Amino acid sequence: MKKKILLLFIIIFVLVALVLVIALKKSGNRQPMKPGHTISASGLVSRAREKEATGDLAEAKNIYQKVIEEHPNSSSVMNWQKKVDELGLKILFSPAITPGSILYEIKPGDTLTKIAREHNTTVELIMKSNGLSSEKINPGKKIKVWTSPFSIVVYKSQNILLLKTNDEVIKTYVVATGKNNSTPAGTFKITTKLPNPTWFKTGAVVPAGSPANVLGTRWLGINLSGYGMHGTTEPQSLGKQVTQGCVRMFNTDVEELYTLVPVGTEVTILD
CB 241 within 8 A of CB 159: yes
Catalytic-role residue among 37, 71, 119, 246: 246
Q: Is 107 exposed, middle or buried (0-12, 13-18, 19+ CB in 10 A)?
A: exposed
Which residues make Cβ contacts (< 8 Å) with residue 82, sequence separation at least 6? Answer: none
Task: State the helix-helix crossing angle for 57-70 and 77-93, rounded to 10 degrees.
Answer: 160
Q: What are the φ and ψ backbone dihedral angles of 253, each rounded to 5 degrees?
A: -70, -45
Give yes or no: 246 in active site.
yes
CA dist., res. 242 & res. 267, Å (int) = 20
Q: Of residues 37, 71, 119, 230, which has the active-site annotation?
A: 230
First and final C-alpha spacing in the chain: 93
Q: How many other CB atoms are found less than 10 A from the CB of residue 108?
A: 7
Q: What are the residues facing 151 on neighbouring strands?
A: 164, 266
In whole angstroms, what is the distance from residue 44 CA to residue 22 CA?
27
Cα separation of 89 and 166, whole Å? Answer: 15
Contact predicate 246/154, CB 8 Å = no
DSSP 245: S
Query: Which active-site residues does the annotation give?
Result: 230, 246
